[in-house]
Copies of this chain bind each other. A is one copy, B any other.
Amino acid sequence: MFTYLRAILIIYSSFLYLVDANSQNINDLLLSDNYEFIDLSHPFDGNTIYWPNKQSFVYSKKVIKEMDDGTTYAENEFATSEHGGTHLDAPYHFNEKGERVGLISLEKLIVPLIIADVSSQVNDDPNFVLYKHHLDHMINDNFGKPCVIVFKFGWSKFIHNRQQYLGLGANNTLNFPGVSAEVMEWITSSYKNIVGVGVDVSSVDPGSSTSFSAHKIGAAAGLYNIENVNLNRPVPEYGCTAIVMPMKLTEGTGAPARFVALCPKKKQSS
């Protein structure tokens, strides 16, 4: 009889939990202590890294004035290339039939985030090119849902040193790690549902590339890229959500983007 009552009690409390779980508001969950937001965007200012000969971020006009009541009023105007700092490449960047930024659906911009950390294999070598064999640990993963994969080369730590970050050489040659055509083909042909590819360097292709194969293969398949992702803070390899928010440029071949990871917090070991 005691066991029976106990069973009833457990059923009842489970029922309460069920009701709660079903009616749980997304806000309660997102804003609980179980999740945190991690900003994967570098800021835009005079130090933002752009490729040589591109329009860097610049304030073309700054207004600051005191109003009659003593309030200080400030507003600015700026100019920038679409492809500098943390930004999105639309498929149209390398595919005239591909989508421009304004048409990319939100269902491709808020998706599960996978971080493929290959930084220990890169080991700060600017000549590193990512091949499939570097990804043996995930080569057979089935990511299941539309997702974004970000390759962590370990390059964000150089963000305050443009020369090193870009591997700038004579005649503005560039040299930094990147993704091989082989890997981009694996991504686009293996039904992994990857809708976007991110890197913590200035291009998905290696800095020394002149063929831009990774760009072309991705764009042909309708994928977008996110370049100059800020990975200076640790991000879990699985379990986060990517919130990729490019400025909504109707005709954009690319756009400055805010990129945020929504991640389950690591539990404190008790």
The stretch from A119-127, A129-137, A176-184, A248-256 touching chain B is A248-256
Q: Could you tell me which A residues sit within 8 Å of B by CB distance?
A: 4, 7-8, 10-11, 14-15, 17-18, 21, 25-27, 29-31, 35, 37, 39, 41-45, 54-55, 59-61, 67, 69, 71-83, 86, 92-96, 102, 106-107, 110-112, 145-146, 211-212, 216, 239, 241, 243, 245-254, 256, 258, 260, 262, 264
Question: In the complex, what distance in Å separates the CA atom of A211 from the CA atom of B73?
Answer: 12
Given the complex, which residues of B lie within 8 Å of A212, measured CB to CB? Answer: 67, 73
Report which of B79, B110, B253, B264 forms a contact with A75, defined as CB distance below 8 A: B253
Q: Knowing that A30-B110, A86-B248 are A-B contacts, what are 20 other residue pairs whose CB atoms are under 8 Å apart, sorted by A's residue number?
A: A7-B11, A14-B14, A14-B15, A27-B111, A43-B102, A45-B251, A67-B212, A69-B216, A71-B94, A71-B95, A72-B96, A74-B94, A74-B253, A75-B82, A76-B81, A78-B82, A110-B262, A245-B245, A245-B260, A247-B256
- CB <8 Å contact, A250 and B44: yes
Q: With both chains docked as a complex, state the minimum distance between the C-beta of A155 and any C-beta of chain B, in angstroms.
A: 19
- CB <8 Å contact, B75 and A78: no
Determine the main DSSP class of A at the interface with B.
mixed
- CB <8 Å contact, A18 and B14: yes
Interface centre among A41, A75, A247, A260 (most CB of B within 10 A): A247
Report which of B21, B76, B253 forms a contact with A76, defined as CB distance below 8 A: B253
